[in-house]
Chain A
């Protein structure tokens, strides 16, 4: 596998909520592996510093009280996130970050307790499908990333699921399905392709020695390249 050393000089803003716990993993993944500057942003802040992309990390924001991501979606910084999302800033939400993005309605659906009722913490096979923003070419790959969640069952009405598929917005599907998600959906993006939400953890698959593979690097690189409109090295 090709070693990735650089995805440009993207300035990344990482949102921290009380209960975020994958924040430091994301900082290390982006800073150590890609040399990106990551600014941590507390959820109570009302203004974003100068950044080019946003990461909403995993964890259990607000202890999952009310609903997973439900209270975080109403934090002050989320008004700003909605505003920059409209302007096309790339945003990725991982695990609890995905739950927060659906609660914010920047992405469709809901993430509900796993159908079997158990927390799953395992390596997970995934099919990754993406349509290039530049060439329109479809790429499909089989990868493996860690998952760790009790509430990852993607739910949406049949019409929404159909729409996500038709618009090539299902980025990741589980193989096999670990939580009862409709359509095996593990990750989606918005219509613009710039807002990504996924339950699997790319930040936990950065080094062979700790994660058995480096598939997480591929996901980060694709996110920055794809979401930045193919101009990661600006």
Chain B
């Protein structure tokens, strides 16, 4: 069972990394680019049939991978 957790800053929080990359992209001529975002991606794998895997991933994302004060996350199951 495989999951991915993607963590990014909340929309209202300034992401300096995304801004720096976007500035360079602008300079390179990618002018039509209107929005650019950066996120951290985590991959988590459990042995097949792990009963509470969904809950474990949610708990890990909530308690460790993301800081609820400044970040948001989404979870996707990649493999059953």
Could you list which residues of chain A lie within 8 angstroms of chain B, going by C-beta atoms?
A: 66-67, 70, 74, 102-103, 108-110, 112-117, 153, 155-156, 180
Residue total for B at the interface (Cβ-Cβ under 8 A)? 12
A113 touches B17 (CB 8 A): yes
Contacts of A67 in B (CB 8 A): 67
Please list 17 pairs of residues, one from A and one from B, whose beta carbons are closer than 8 Å in the complex, sorted by A's number. Answer: A66-B64, A67-B67, A70-B67, A74-B64, A102-B69, A103-B67, A108-B69, A109-B69, A112-B9, A112-B70, A114-B16, A115-B16, A116-B16, A117-B19, A155-B13, A156-B69, A180-B14
Q: Is the Cβ of A112 less than 8 Å from the Cβ of B64?
A: no
Q: Does B65 contact A (CB under 8 A)?
A: yes
B residues near A110, Cβ cutoff 8 Å: 67, 69-70
Tell me, in angstroms, the Cα distance from A67 to B71 when the chains sit together.
Answer: 11
Which residues of chain B are within 8 angstroms of A70 by Cβ–Cβ distance? 64, 67
> Besides A115-B16, A117-B16, 20 other CB < 8 A contacts?
A66-B64, A66-B65, A67-B67, A70-B64, A70-B67, A108-B69, A109-B69, A110-B67, A110-B69, A112-B13, A112-B16, A112-B70, A113-B16, A113-B17, A114-B16, A115-B14, A117-B20, A155-B13, A155-B70, A156-B69
Chain A contact surface mostly: loop
Question: In the complex, what residue of chain A is closest to B12 when comparing beta carbons?
Answer: A157
Q: How far apart are B39's CB and chain A's nearest CB, in angstroms?
A: 14
